[in-house]
Amino acid sequence: MTGRVAAHRAGAGRPRLADPVLLATPAIARHTEASDTMEAWERFLTGDGSVMVPSRNFVVASWLRSRQLGINPTGRSAPIVASGGAMALLRARNAELLAAAGEVFAQVGEMFSGSRSMMLLTNRDGVILEVAGDPHTLGEGEEIHLTPGGDWREQSIGTNGIGTAIATGRPAQVHASEHFCEGIKAWTCAASPVFEPGTGAMLGVIDISGPPSTYQRNNLSLAVSTARQIELVLAERAMHERMRLLEICLDRVSEADVAGMVAIDRRGRLVHSTGRVPSMVAIGQRVPGLDDSSAVEAWADRLPDGLRPEWFSPVRFDGRSIGAVLVVPSQVRPGTACAVPARTAGEADFDRIIGRSAGMVETKARARRLVGKPVPVLIHGETGVGKELFARAIHGMAAGDEADGGRRPFVVFNCGAVARDLLAGELFGHVRGAFTGATSEGRPGRFEMAHGGTLCLDEIGELPLDLQPVLLRALEEGVIYRLGDGHPRPVNVRLLCLTNRDLLAEVAAGRFRKDLYYRISVTTIRPPPLRERTGDVPVLIEHFNRSLSARHGVPMRRFGPEVMRLVEAYHWPGNVRELRNMVESQLLMAEQPDVEVGELTMETVPAPPGATIAGVATLGMAEHATILQTIRNCNGNLAAAARLLGVSRSTLYRKMSSAHF
């Protein structure tokens, strides 16, 4: 035990540190002197029960985890777990993350010179991959192994910015005496996780560290913004790689003998699915059993039920695997998972939209009448109500598809997920040398990919005003021009547009063209929010309970009357998506067959009067309330909140900035 802790035991009669100091904020040292924080730490180590505060104080919650992990509080440094060849292998495994952070770290040395600060990048396991910053501070960091190869998980060194950000999945700022181990209390650190675009899996952590004198609030903001910058680079690179994967896959497909195709990127995420292929996951989600922990070539033996190894082919480009394609032949033996179903694909798609409420039954009936009718449809509604499910069902199987194998493409494009400068090229394609960064051979855009089928434009309200007339002309003339090319290319697509915005209000505000609005909204569908679907919550819980338990190989759980009363009373701002996530969480975190009321988070109890979205006075206030509630549901994880809201992360940041969150 340290000398300070021993002295504390000898002087037990000194006044106690008031409990509110530990409960006041998410970080103790922001409101108390360093000596008070040190005293609180010493009391904690001696077992003083008054320090056992609720886990909403993330520092004390981390101290509790550190003690449970058996961390020695007198520790002086983190362990070194990789060096030499092992470090080279670790960097190779994280080459994509390092490359995305390369530009940032190239500037850090000069930016941090003389600041007494340093910036670090770790992998998902908290092992440092890269450091840069003030030379003097880098030297001091080596003394506690704040250097490549150092393992900064809580399991290794207790409470610290990197380890606590990994443990909580949230940004964390740990100052001086808030660290658990005595040897690192002479440091302050601000860390933010870096998440994988599309799946939200944690890839690593960005951390800013230095002596306590360098502490300032905006260190955490800088760490968060740097992490988001790296994520944007990763997203852009992944998008271009997936486009290349699609191009290669489409080149391989023979229109004469193919009933369907699946494209999966090298991280195991579904990129494209068309024709008669078993439904696995939504576009962008990881296919069960497939991930980057094994080579793409090894996936053939790990495919989900309904997909055969003989259909599987890895795709290589520039000397490396960028994903895989599964080509389903038109002749499949009867009785297999991909045999032609008794019902049309359109009916099967509508059957996936679960709900018996009057509003949902009426909406599905209206949508069914649009199957096979070549008119644009605007599907508008709140986030998480299932707009893309309706789009896929409306795409369905039109008359004549039985004869040609049902191979009409269904192409989804999110207008809010791509940088503004890249939108035109993504929609209309480009020719060689059309702009800086263009592929050497050019490539088609989403319109050409959807030729003969359906183009689904998600977040259509995010389309820049200057690009709207180009889209309108393409729809009116049925012709597109790739960037850098004067050659017209005829396209025949059915357009489905999705939005959670009030487009008429956007028209009135001058942010959306009136002529384009009327062109895309020949017919409209509004999937009702979950709070308007009386009686559907129990039905959906039963459906997700059964399907998700089978997917994860875990037992179903029982939602008793009291729990069901609470979830039915909740206003569900994230709608069906939020409900699904709640059920999945209860399945994965199960410790007993019955779900207990205490397992539900505070967000799943009924909202106070006037706090529900239905009670908000204006559309802007409703959007603000929905965003705020969703961020709370995700414990502050903005990446997860963006996925739950069904918008891009850049869109969420913009809305938060404009609403002054």
Token couple for 613: 């979205």
How does pLDDT run across 193-246, given as a tens digit for each residue? 999 887 788 999 999 999 988 888 788 988 999 999 999 888 888 887 877 787
- DSSP states of 427-449 as a string? HH-B-TTSSTT--TT-B--HHHH
In a domain, 641, yes or no: no
- Domain end position, chosen among 340, 355, 376: 340
Residue 244: inside a domain: no
Indicate the pTM of the whole model.
0.47
- Domain limits at 219? 1-233
Q: Domain check: are 149 and 196 in the same one? A: yes
Tell whether the model's pLDDT for residue 345 goes beyond 60: no
Residues 59 and 134 in one domain: yes
**pLDDT surpassing 80 at residue 608:** no
Strand-strand pairing, 489-490 and 494-499 = unpaired
Arithmetic mean of pLDDT, 462-485: 91
Task: Indicate whether 169 and 284 sit together in one domain.
Answer: no
Statement to judge: residues 214 and 315 lie in one domain? no
pLDDT at 126 over 80: yes
Place of tokens 């008070």: 36
Highest-scoring range by mean pLDDT, 4-8, 356-360, 397-401, 648-652:
356-360
Q: Is the pLDDT of residue 407 over 60?
A: no
Distance CA 42, CA 28 (A): 14
What does the alpha-carbon distance between residue 94 and residue 126 come to, in Å, rounded to a whole number? 12
Q: Are residues 327 and 268 in the same domain?
A: yes
Residue 141 — pLDDT band, cuts 50, 70, 90? Answer: very high
Structural domain contains residue 588: no
Share of the chain above pLDDT 70, in %: 77
What average pLDDT does this structure show over 319-324? 79
Give yes or no: residues 267 and 191 share one domain: no
**Does 36 share its domain with 98?**
yes
Q: What is the pLDDT of residue 128?
A: 96
Give the three-state DSSP class for 189: strand
571, HSE (Cβ side, Cα atoms, 13 Å): 18
Burial class of 576 by CB neighbour count within 10 A (0 to 12, 13 to 18, 19+): buried
Average pLDDT for 563-584: 88
The Cα–Cα gap between 234 and 242 comes to: 12
Going by pLDDT thresholds of 50, 70 and 90, the confidence category of residue 657 is low
Q: How far apart are CA 417 and CA 438, in angstroms?
A: 19
What tokens does 520 get? Answer: 């895309």
Q: Which residue has the higher pLDDT, 317 or 496?
A: 496
Tell me: pLDDT of 10 over 50.
no
Mean pLDDT of 580-599: 85
* Tens digit of each residue's pLDDT (9 = 90 or more) over 495-549: 999 999 999 999 999 999 999 999 999 999 999 999 999 999 999 999 999 888 8
Contact criterion met (CB below 8 Å) for 210 and 188:
yes
Specify whether 23 is located in the same domain as 116.
yes
Write the CATH number for 136: 3.30.450.40
pLDDT: is 58 or 439 the higher one? 58
Residues in Cβ contact with 413 at an 8 Å cutoff, skipping those fewer than 6 apart: 426, 427, 446, 455, 456, 457, 458
84-87: list long-range contacts, CB under 8 Å, 24+ apart: 86/149, 87/148, 87/149
CA–CA distances in Å: residue 103 to residues 98, 144, 226, 240, 576: 9, 27, 11, 19, 40
Task: List pLDDT tens digits, range 161-183.
Answer: 999 999 999 999 999 889 999 99
pLDDT of 54 over the 70 cut: no
Direct distance between the N- and C-terminal alpha carbons of the chain, in angstroms, rounded to an integer: 44
DSSP per-residue letters across 321-342: EEEEEEEEES---TTSTTSPPS
**2 located within any domain:** yes
Regarding whether 68 and 37 lie in a shared domain, the answer is: yes
Q: Pick the last residue of a domain from 340, 375, 404.
A: 340
pLDDT of 99 > 80? The answer is: yes
Comparing 32 with 486, the larger pLDDT belongs to 486
3-state secondary structure of 132: strand
d(CA 217, CA 6): 34
pLDDT at 379 (0 to 100) = 97
Q: Which amino acid is at 624?
A: H
Is residue 94 situated within a structural domain? Answer: yes
Query: Are residues 127 and 193 both part of a single domain?
Result: yes
Per the domain annotation, does 359 fall within a domain? no
In a domain, 374, yes or no: no
Is the pLDDT at 649 greater than 60, yes or no?
Answer: yes
**Count of structural domains, the chain:** 2
Residues 132 and 160 in one domain: yes
Whether 429 maps to a domain, the answer reads no
Torsion of CA 279, 285, 287, 293, to 10 degrees: 180
pLDDT for the residue 598: 76
pLDDT over 90 (residue 367): yes
Helix, strand, coil percentages (3-state) for the chain, rounded to 5, are 45, 15, 40
Residue ending a domain, among 340, 367, 388, is: 340
pLDDT the model gives residue 318: 67
Are 36 and 145 in a shared domain? yes
